[in-house]
């Protein structure tokens, strides 16, 4: 075992007890090291159930199990603890949660459940017109990831006042429904760690704790792994500070950078030999990331040859850029240099995808945009899951609110409002309120009462199916049939496609039945579904062109990568970010560029546009500072000083080619013009080219209107004149930071 490991990999695998930090650059075989280290621990006599390996995605956990199964056998791996942070904590809570008052059959609220609950609470408190549920939930999540009580967090805005009212009620509603949200899952295990009986057991439960992608951990996750490894101090963390790109969702790079502060006796191993990319691509990536100051130094290298030079294309506008990408791909595929599944197009923001899709289809490609609605987020799937949640837990009010009129059965919002009021008055759940109303326990009119009376037998019948020992797959089928969902979809234009999604949900349940040999509970199936993230469905290749944001591409690799939109203000984004200073923000953008460049194995294509449509205006763009960082020797034709070229006049307009697409020279600087048909993109551009003085008019509390987001209320402002930035709470999309020039008084 491990005969093909390089010296640094072997040093990490053979490390004995005590803390270990493995700095693993992109493509250096970190998963191989983790798998072989775990196998080596078992060889040395560590029991499988004494090993905990934590990952960030179910896909990564599955890959680890598969590789270990090949080395040790599935029966050995089955007894290990391998899973995501949330799956691991949910498993611990099922086992020990009753010690802190959490029942074994607790449910996990997904994003939709949380939003429905907070929306209902805001409405009950008369605050629905003051703030959006998304804004509050973002605040709750921000605080929970840092171990802060959201009701006590003070940032100086009126959001704090609302949070102080809503958060305790939100947590009380979760408790009443025997539920937790994602942030609570880890916090509850930390609470278990403080329990006088369970805490010592958790601290000595695992002889070895191993954490993958450690640079992505937040403060609470770090506290968790420290607690679980406290008894033995056998903590192995694997990560790359140069790939820490999730500060916006709570990741704390200092967990890795300062690891030796908490573990001064740590052994550090650097993995720098890359097995993925050519030396040309690595030279470019190393040069870009070397400009960051706050990092542990390392440089990727490979034994492979230099490889093809990087192709660079300064397009005239965003349409010309998209056309160049599609033309180049068509040439590569037609010449047999690659198949469509070998290529990926990366961009900084989702808004860039539209024009790329249009041009790819023009060149006979079928683009696959990763990040579109995930399977478990599709309406019909979420509706049926809500029925299942209600079957599993009669107190799941948010699930009842979702399905009480789905499919439509004439039960309107006014009736639901009265049910809420009745439930609050009696201190009971909504389903209990429905039963009480149907039996004549309220002044609700005969029409609504009759409709509610017709709804109850559906739920009771499904409860009987579940109690009667039906398989979970059969239960899903019965939900679709008895609820009337099948008949409802038969009358819809897209009914066949949506029924196909529900058929897939039956397959999910059937697979779970088979995996658990029919012994898995409905609560466990719902937990599996709740913990399945969109990131686990991001690596389908097929014979299509894959498109995704750089954030979605982390952990993936492709033979050929196109990186588009390399413009200051777009990439790097220059948008102000709450809680992150400008220096830290640019360093994270540089790490994002490093991730993007190192996704490529053989070929790398870089592009930007001199003109880009932003909110209906055409803006002259400045080439990204990251392009200047790449050595000229990496390019086929070294570009002239890019930032100096930004002062040059816009390119001479010329019409787009007609007829058969011409074959491009990849280093040809073909400048295309913009026209009135260019689409409007929502990008994080710095609108610095508008010399008008339309800002400075908005104060907190003022009502405003935005062309795309509609009406909203000003929360805070920064800057003045044409540089004024305004934080607005929009009724449609929650809080957004926008340029004052795009707002009109309400």
Give yes or no for residue 652 having a pLDDT over 70: no
Domain-terminating residue out of 532, 557, 574? 532
Residues 518 and 628 in one domain: no
pLDDT per position as a tens digit, 228-252: 999 999 999 999 988 888 887 788 8
Residues 287 and 322 in one domain: yes
Question: Does 531 or 57 have the greater pLDDT score?
Answer: 57
Give yes or no for residue 503 having a pLDDT over 70: yes
**Residue 156 falls inside a structural domain:** yes
CB 398 within 8 A of CB 180: no
Which of 213, 216, 318, 670 is flagged as catalytic?
213
Give the integer Cα–Cα distance in Å for 707 and 691: 20
Residues 425 and 509 in one domain: yes
CB crowding 447-466: b at 16 or more within 10 Å, else e: ebbebbeebeebbeebeebb
Which of 110, 141, 212, 355 is flagged as catalytic?
212
Interval 493-518 mean pLDDT:
84
Place of tokens 């549920």: 133
Residues 625 and 489 in one domain: no
Write the CATH number for 499. 1.10.486.10
**Residue 685 falls inside a structural domain:** no
In 577-702 the beta strands, taken as DSSP E runs, fall at 600-614, 617-620, 622-623
Question: Any catalytic annotation for residue 559?
Answer: no
Residues 380 and 469 in one domain: yes
pLDDT per position as a tens digit, 554-605: 889 999 999 999 999 899 988 766 666 778 889 999 999 999 999 999 999 9
Give the integer Cα–Cα distance in Å for 506 and 474: 8
What is the token pair recorded at 283?
Answer: 């030279």
Domain-terminating residue out of 177, 205, 232? 177
pLDDT per position as a tens digit, 407-462: 988 898 889 989 998 998 888 999 999 999 998 877 788 888 899 999 999 999 99
**Residue 380 falls inside a structural domain:** yes
Residues 421 and 525 in one domain: yes
What is the token pair recorded at 263?
Answer: 């573990």
Confidence of residue 195 (pLDDT cuts 50, 70, 90): very high
Give the integer Cα–Cα distance in Å for 426 and 51: 48
Which of 55, 119, 243, 328 is flagged as catalytic?
243
Residues 416 and 516 in one domain: yes
Give yes or no for residue 386 having a pLDDT over 50: yes
Question: Any catalytic annotation for residue 450?
Answer: no
CB 684 within 8 A of CB 574: yes
Residues 226 and 86 in one domain: yes
Write the CATH number for 207. 3.40.50.300
Count: domains in the chain: 5
Residues 607 and 727 in one domain: no
- Secondary structure (3-state) at 285: helix
CB crowding 64-81: b at 16 or more within 10 Å, else e: bbebbeebbeeeebeebb
Q: What is the pLDDT of residue 265?
A: 94
Residues 252 and 266 in one domain: yes
Mean pLDDT of the chain: 84
Interval 524-539 mean pLDDT:
68
Q: In sequence order, what are the residues at sequence separation of 6 or more whose Cβ sits closer than 8 angstroms to the Cβ of residue 75?
A: none
Give the integer Cα–Cα distance in Å for 381 and 506: 10
pLDDT per position as a tens digit, 92-149: 999 999 999 999 989 999 888 899 999 999 998 888 877 888 888 988 998 999 888 8
Question: Any catalytic annotation for residue 599?
Answer: yes
Question: Any catalytic annotation for residue 161?
Answer: no
**Residue 689 falls inside a structural domain:** no
Which of 31, 157, 544, 737 is flagged as catalytic?
31
Question: Any catalytic annotation for residue 212?
Answer: yes
**Residue 675 falls inside a structural domain:** no
Angle at 337 between CA 333 and CA 341, to 5 degrees: 55
Interval 47-70 mean pLDDT:
93
Which of 139, 276, 599, 601 is flagged as catalytic?
599
Question: Any catalytic annotation for residue 98?
Answer: no
**Residue 681 falls inside a structural domain:** no
**Residue 682 falls inside a structural domain:** no
Question: Does 726 or 84 have the greater pLDDT score?
Answer: 84
Among 49-58, 521-530, 621-630, 695-704, the range scoring the smallest mean pLDDT is 695-704
Interval 14-33 mean pLDDT:
94
Which of 8, 9, 30, 342 is flagged as catalytic?
30
Partner residues linked to 710 by β-bridges? 706
Residues 386 and 408 in one domain: yes
**Residue 656 falls inside a structural domain:** no
Give the integer Cα–Cα distance in Å for 96 and 203: 13
Confidence of residue 663 (pLDDT cuts 50, 70, 90): very low
What is the token pair recorded at 220?
Answer: 């609470």
Q: What is the pLDDT of residue 543?
A: 54
Residues 352 and 386 in one domain: no
Range of the domain at 131: 107-177
Partner residues linked to 345 by β-bridges? 547, 562
Confidence of residue 50 (pLDDT cuts 50, 70, 90): very high
Question: Does 542 or 34 have the greater pLDDT score?
Answer: 34
Q: How many CA atoms lie within 13 A of 192 on its CB side?
A: 26
Classify residue 258 as exposed, middle or buried by CB count within 10 Å of its CB (0-12, 13-18, 19+): exposed
Among 48-62, 675-689, 715-729, the range scoring the smallest mean pLDDT is 675-689
CB 513 within 8 A of CB 471: yes
Domain-terminating residue out of 250, 271, 292? 271
Q: What is the pLDDT of residue 636?
A: 84
Give the integer Cα–Cα distance in Å for 9 and 3: 11
Q: What is the pLDDT of residue 682?
A: 30
Partner residues linked to 107 by β-bridges? 179
Give yes or no for residue 694 having a pLDDT over 70: no
């Amino acid at each position: 075992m491990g005969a093909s490991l390089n010296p640094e990999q072997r040093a990490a695998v053979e490390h004995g007890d005590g803390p270990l930090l493995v700095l693993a650059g992109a493509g250096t075989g970190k998963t191989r090291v983790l798998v072989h280290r775990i196998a080596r621990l078992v060889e040395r006599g560590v029991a499988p159930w004494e090993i905990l390996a934590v990952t960030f995605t179910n896909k990564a956990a599955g890959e680890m199990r598969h590789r270990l199964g090949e080395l040790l056998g599935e029966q050995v791996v089955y007894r290990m603890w391998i899973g995501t942070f949330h799956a691991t904590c949910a498993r611990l809570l099922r086992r020990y949660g009753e010690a802190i008052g959490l029942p074994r059959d607790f449910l996990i609220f997904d994003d939709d459940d949380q939003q429905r609950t907070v929306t209902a609470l805001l409405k009950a408190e008369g605050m629905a017109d003051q703030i959006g549920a998304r804004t509050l939930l973002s605040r709750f999540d921000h605080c929970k990831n840092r171990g802060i009580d959201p009701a006590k967090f003070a940032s100086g805005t009126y959001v704090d006042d609302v949070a102080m009212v809503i958060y305790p009620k939100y947590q009380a509603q979760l408790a009443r429904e025997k539920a937790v949200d994602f942030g609570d899952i880890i916090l509850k295990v930390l609470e278990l760690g403080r329990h006088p009986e369970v805490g010592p057991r958790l601290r000595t439960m695992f002889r070895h704790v191993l954490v993958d992608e450690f640079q992505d951990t937040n403060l609470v996750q770090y506290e968790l792994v420290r607690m679980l490894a406290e008894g033995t101090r056998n903590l192995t963390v694997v990560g790359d500070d140069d790939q820490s790109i999730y500060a916006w969702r709570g990741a704390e790079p200092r967990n890795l950078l300062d690891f030796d502060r908490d573990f001064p006796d740590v052994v550090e191993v650097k993995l720098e030999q890359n097995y993925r990319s050519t030396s040309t691509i690595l030279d470019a990536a190393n040069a870009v990331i070397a400009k960051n100051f706050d990092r542990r130094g390392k440089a990727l290298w490979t034994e492979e040859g230099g490889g093809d030079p990087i192709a660079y294309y300064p397009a005239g506008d965003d349409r010309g850029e998209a056309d160049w990408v599609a033309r180049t791909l068509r040439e590569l595929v037609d010449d047999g240099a690659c198949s469509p599944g070998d290529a990926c197009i990366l961009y900084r923001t989702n808004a860039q995808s539209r024009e790329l899709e249009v041009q790819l289809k023009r060149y006979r490609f079928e683009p696959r945009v990763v990040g579109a609605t995930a399977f478990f987020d599709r309406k019909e799937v979420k509706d049926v899951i809500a029925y299942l949640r209600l079957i599993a837990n009669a107190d799941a009010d948010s699930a009842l609110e979702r399905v009480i009129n789905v499919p439509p059965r004439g039960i309107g919002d006014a009736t639901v409002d009265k049910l809420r009021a009745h439930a609050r008055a009696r201190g009971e759940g909504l389903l209990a309120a429905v039963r009480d109303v149907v039996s004549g326990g309220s002044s609700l009119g005969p029409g609504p009462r009759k409709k509610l009376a017709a709804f109850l037998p559906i739920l009771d019948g499904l409860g009987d199916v579940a109690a009667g020992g039906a398989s979970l797959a059969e239960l899903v089928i019965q939900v679709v049939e008895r609820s009337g969902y099948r008949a409802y979809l038969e009358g819809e234009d897209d009914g066949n496609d949506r029924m196909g999604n529900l058929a897939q949900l039956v397959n999910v349940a059937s697979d779970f039945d088979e995996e658990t040999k029919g012994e898995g509970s409905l609560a466990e199936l719902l937990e599996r579904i709740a913990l399945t993230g969109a990131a686990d469905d991001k690596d389908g290749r097929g014979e299509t062109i894959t498109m995704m944001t750089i954030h979605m591409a982390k952990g993936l690799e492709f033979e050929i990568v196109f990186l588009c939109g390399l413009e200051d203000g777009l990439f790097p984004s220059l948008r102000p970010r709450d809680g992150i200073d400008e220096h830290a923000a640019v360093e994270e953008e540089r790490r994002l560029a490093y991730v993007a460049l190192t996704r490529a194995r053989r070929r790398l294509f870089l592009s930007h546009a001199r003109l880009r449509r932003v909110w209906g205006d055409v803006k002259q763009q400045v080439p990204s500072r990251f392009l200047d960082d790449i050595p000229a020797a990496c390019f086929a034709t070294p570009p002239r000083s890019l930032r100096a070229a930004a002062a040059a006049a816009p390119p001479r307009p010329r019409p787009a080619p007609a007829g058969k697409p011409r074959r491009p020279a990849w280093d040809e600087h073909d400048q295309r013009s913009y026209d009135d048909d260019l689409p409007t993109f929502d990008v994080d551009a710095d609108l610095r080219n508008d010399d008008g003085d339309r800002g400075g008019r908005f104060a907190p509390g003022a009502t405003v209107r935005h062309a795309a987001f509609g009406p909203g209320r000003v929360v805070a402002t920064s800057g003045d004149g044409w540089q004024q930035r305004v934080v607005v709470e929009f009724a449609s999309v929650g809080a957004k930071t926008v340029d004052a020039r795009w707002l009109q008084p309400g």
